[in-house]
Structure 1
Amino acid sequence: MDNNRRTQLLEAAVEQSFNPVVITTAQLELPGPQILYVNTAFTRMTGYTTEEVYGRTPRILQGPETDHSVIQRLRDRLWNGQSFQGTTINYRKDGSSYWVEWNISPIRDEAGEIRNFVSVQRDITDQVMAERERRLLATALDANADNVLITDRSGAITYVNQAFVRQTGYPLKDIRGQQPSILKSGEHGPEFYRRLWETIQDGGTFQATFTDRSRDGTRFHMEQTITPVRDERGEVTHYVATGKDITERVKMEQALEEMATTDLLTGLPNRSHGEQLLDRQWNRTERYAEAFSVIMADVDHFKAVNDRHGHDAGDRILSWVAGALRSQLRDSDTAIRWGGEEFLILAPHTGLEGAEELAERMRTAVAGHEDPEVGSVTLSLGVATLREGDTKKRLIKRADSALYAAKEAGRNRVSSV
């Protein structure tokens, strides 16, 4: 290929280039380099025609927001015969601004002398604006009082805001790439997480109250919403979880529930809640045909304690007895303050012999205690085991009858029917 043909191809390539191209003289002293050539992409970017810029300096593109420190670095590099890359704000013919990225290189002749500068430019306004919006969004998310967590479609964490960091103790650098399961408290079972993933993978939004655990082991409660994020093709690319800390509200609700279901003196379930627990256990027993026993316990001569020593002493005795009963319970057992000085113990999976042994341990635990003011405290206990055709009322009545028999037989003993 001859030189003329090669030159024609180069000129055509530059003219048709997508990127704006400017060639100037190498004159750096005032008035500065003069424009010798611009391609069509340059005229589209700036609004100037070729004739309007020929012989003028690139300073015609500068304006109020042009970064003059960038211009100075540009001059310093060119004075030293070096290439330059940078960005700043330039201005079009109509006065509108745009962000431009330059790559400026010296052109040398055969002797190595710099004769011209060539600048390949790119309008990066859209990228700069997108980056500003991204930073603004990140700033807004960090300023948000609610926790924000973003994962990719596989569930790997890609972003957390400052509220999340404060809540959990995990900064992004320590948790990036981890799964949100790092926060699991053990409060939710597999079914909970299965429903979560099925919902969001199907494109739905999942809302629930999560009980999570922070880095130091502290449990907290979040009212959380998890939403899929889709790209322009409708494909899920990320998941965004936003959560409001409701720990104090949950604690208050739990305290109110405890007040409603717990006997304040003994700390045991009260009669109302105890009947609900009995119903649940009864239904389970019927469903699985399991053994089930109940024990009715009563503090002996309790009226005399109140009459002789006062109600404060009586309350102290009841509280201590409740603790003694609780100390003998197995994991599946439940002790209930049934009323006054009377306690009901539910013993699931337990036949008559096992229930009698449990009742005897309770009797012994109480009888071994000597109150400094009241003296010896004892219990009488009645045991009843579920029989075919029993109702709850009939089972409790039999335990009550056994308790009455223990009282009649001299108290401080276990009786069964």
Structure 2
Amino acid sequence: MSTAESALFRAAVMQSWNAIVITDADLAAGCRVEIANPAFCAMTGYPLEELRGRTLKLLQGPDTDPALIEELRNCLREGRYFEGTTTNYRKDGSPYIVRWNISPIRDDAGTLTHFISVQQDITAYVLAQRENRLLARALDATTDPVLITDAQARIIFANVAFEEATGYTIDEVKGRTPALLRSDEHDEAFYAKLHRVLADGQDFRATFVNRRRDGSLYHAEQSISPICDESGRITHYVSVSKDISDRVDMEQALRHAATRDKLTGLYNRRHGEHLLEEACRRAQKRGGVLSLIVCDIDHFKQINDRFGHPAGDRVLSDVAHILRDSVRSGDAVIRWGGEEFVILLENCALEAAIDLGERVRNRVRAHQDAEVGALTLSLGLAGRAQDESFEQLVARADAALYTAKRSGRDRLSLA
């Protein structure tokens, strides 16, 4: 090797960012240090003057892995390459975690003359890894589902609670986006707002209706937060949610109980009055047509007196079912009280309301109860007049109903 090449190699070793140390190959003496570059001296805290002629055993301490050191000795004795990680100690006694490799150096005759070791202080990396594992265990320990994605919304982490809530394992969702949970219960405006809020670096909170792996739906109170790096660039998103399906079911049950008649499942009178008032307000504001039918089961008192209240309740339920199946999907059917029902028909002209009323009457007439026999229905129909309140509209339809009853029942009368 020329003088220039020797100088180049020495400069490369001494200026290397990695810590480099060269020892002799005298195994009996423990392989004494001959050269250590500034990076090695900075890492260990020992100047070259204190290292030269000593063995690197001086870096070992209580947490140095003895099994790894024994493996190192075997490699040195056999002149083999070695790589390992353990805890070493600086001159001031502070520990650091080092990853190093050792290569044998031979002369032209093949005789082992030296060992060269390239080392890195990986303490910060190992501690970060430990913290990440601790964080992962902590996230797994929480009962709330947690999901972490990269900036492109690709899933990189999901905790155990997420797996239990959705039925998806982490291996099934990793690399995919949270769109796999979409239930189609939210419109595009919902997701547009989500993307807009997150792009602005703000948290997005909402109640999501998500779909599990088995296709079932669940309600999740969810918070999604962007995570930014030092420059403010969004690098990840973290979502924390809570399954509130039980609470939603309870709230829906309470709302149902507050607005529905227990026997028939139709709207109760209190909620029906609210629906009527709102419908009249909309018709007044927009100029739309509104029709109302009040109907009554004929001779219902006789049914109760002759066959008993269980039969009467069955008849009420059957008639309610017929009414509900006979109207349009947007029409409201209300149990007004006793055997009386109200059908609210928005955007329904009088002629169409008459046809619907006759359809209802004929379907009830065609129904045969196994115990009671044939049933009939009397109906009163009124179309809303300009500036008429819902109370006035109900009163006119009710008057038409009594006209139908006085005229022989089983008929539809107009107000």
Q: Which of 260, 264, 267 is 1:266 aligned to?
A: 264
Q: 1:315 to 1:163 in 2, by over 3 A?
A: same
Q: 1:280 to 1:112 in 2, by over 3 A?
A: farther
Q: In the alignment, which residue of structure 2 is the partner of 1:112?
A: 110
Q: Which of 45, 69, 72 is 2:70 aligned to?
A: 72
CA distance in 1, matches of 2:151, 2:273: 47
More deviation in 311-320 or 401-410?
A: 311-320
CA distance in 1, matches of 2:90, 2:243: 50
1:343 offset after TM fit, Å?
Answer: 0.7
1:118 offset after TM fit, Å?
Answer: 0.2
1:31 offset after TM fit, Å?
Answer: 4.3
Q: In the alignment, which residue of structure 2 is the partner of 1:19?
A: 18
Q: In the alignment, which residue of structure 1 is the partner of 2:237?
A: 239
Q: Which of 71, 80, 83 is 1:82 aligned to?
A: 80
Q: In the alignment, which residue of structure 2 is the partner of 1:199?
A: 197
Cα deviation code 1:47-102 (max 9, x no counterpart): 22323322222222122222233333333434443322221111112222111011
CA distance in 1, matches of 2:74, 2:405: 107
Secondary structure at the aligned position of 2:88 is classed as strand
1:218 offset after TM fit, Å?
Answer: 1.4
May I ask how many residue pairs the two structures share in their alignment? 415
CA distance in 1, matches of 2:343, 2:149: 49
Secondary structure at the aligned position of 1:210 is classed as strand
Tell me the TM-score normalized by structure 1: 0.93
CA distance in 2, matches of 1:80, 1:283: 96
Q: Which runs of 5+ in 2 are unaligned?
A: none
Q: In the alignment, which residue of structure 2 is the partner of 1:167?
A: 165
CA distance in 1, matches of 2:291, 2:180: 42
Matches within 5 A, 1:137-156: 137-156=135-154
CA distance in 2, matches of 1:71, 1:16: 28
Secondary structure at the aligned position of 1:346 is classed as strand
Code of the residue aligned with 1:45 in structure 2: it is: M
Q: In the alignment, which residue of structure 2 is the partner of 1:385?
A: 383
Code of the residue aligned with 2:20 in structure 1: it is: V
Tell me the TM-score normalized by structure 2: 0.94
Q: In the alignment, which residue of structure 2 is the partner of 1:33?
A: 31
Q: In the alignment, which residue of structure 2 is the partner of 1:401?
A: 399
Q: In the alignment, which residue of structure 1 is the partner of 2:123?
A: 125
1:251 offset after TM fit, Å?
Answer: 1.1
Q: In the alignment, which residue of structure 1 is the partner of 2:288?
A: 290
1:323 offset after TM fit, Å?
Answer: 1.1
Code of the residue aligned with 2:80 in structure 1: it is: Q
Code of the residue aligned with 1:16 in structure 2: it is: Q
1:151 offset after TM fit, Å?
Answer: 2.1
Secondary structure at the aligned position of 2:96 is classed as strand
CA distance in 2, matches of 1:23, 1:321: 98
CA distance in 2, matches of 1:166, 1:407: 61
1:131 offset after TM fit, Å?
Answer: 0.9
Q: Which of 229, 247, 250 is 1:249 aligned to?
A: 247
Q: Which of 56, 61, 64 is 1:63 aligned to?
A: 61
Q: 1:289 to 1:202 in 2, by over 3 A?
A: same
CA distance in 1, matches of 2:24, 2:103: 12
Contact 2:284 2:386 in 1 (8 A): no
CA distance in 1, matches of 2:226, 2:281: 41
Contact 2:293 2:379 in 1 (8 A): yes
More deviation in 233-242 or 372-381?
A: 372-381
Code of the residue aligned with 1:348 in structure 2: it is: E
Code of the residue aligned with 1:341 in structure 2: it is: E
1:172 offset after TM fit, Å?
Answer: 2.3
1:276 offset after TM fit, Å?
Answer: 2.3
Code of the residue aligned with 1:196 in structure 2: it is: L
1:40 offset after TM fit, Å?
Answer: 2.0
Code of the residue aligned with 2:249 in structure 1: it is: K
Code of the residue aligned with 1:222 in structure 2: it is: A
Q: 1:289 to 1:56 in 2, by over 3 A?
A: same
Code of the residue aligned with 1:8 in structure 2: it is: A
Matches within 5 A, 1:176-195: 176-195=174-193
1:397 offset after TM fit, Å?
Answer: 2.1
Secondary structure at the aligned position of 1:18 is classed as coil
1:244 offset after TM fit, Å?
Answer: 1.3
Q: Which of 283, 298, 301 is 1:300 aligned to?
A: 298
More deviation in 316-325 or 31-40?
A: 31-40
Matches within 5 A, 1:204-219: 204-219=202-217
Q: In the alignment, which residue of structure 2 is the partner of 1:366?
A: 364
Aligned alpha-carbon RMSD (Å) = 1.9
CA distance in 1, matches of 2:175, 2:329: 40
Q: In the alignment, which residue of structure 2 is the partner of 1:9?
A: 8
Cα deviation code 1:253-297 (max 9, x no counterpart): 111111111110111111111122223333443444333222111
1:184 offset after TM fit, Å?
Answer: 1.9
Cα deviation code 1:30-49 (max 9, x no counterpart): 44322222122222111223
Secondary structure at the aligned position of 1:191 is classed as helix
Code of the residue aligned with 2:308 in structure 1: it is: G
Q: In the alignment, which residue of structure 2 is the partner of 1:50?
A: 48
Q: Which of 329, 337, 350 is 2:327 aligned to?
A: 329
Q: In the alignment, which residue of structure 2 is the partner of 1:229?
A: 227
CA distance in 1, matches of 2:80, 2:138: 41
CA distance in 2, matches of 1:283, 1:231: 54
1:115 offset after TM fit, Å?
Answer: 1.0
Code of the residue aligned with 2:215 in structure 1: it is: G
Code of the residue aligned with 1:150 in structure 2: it is: I
CA distance in 1, matches of 2:243, 2:57: 55
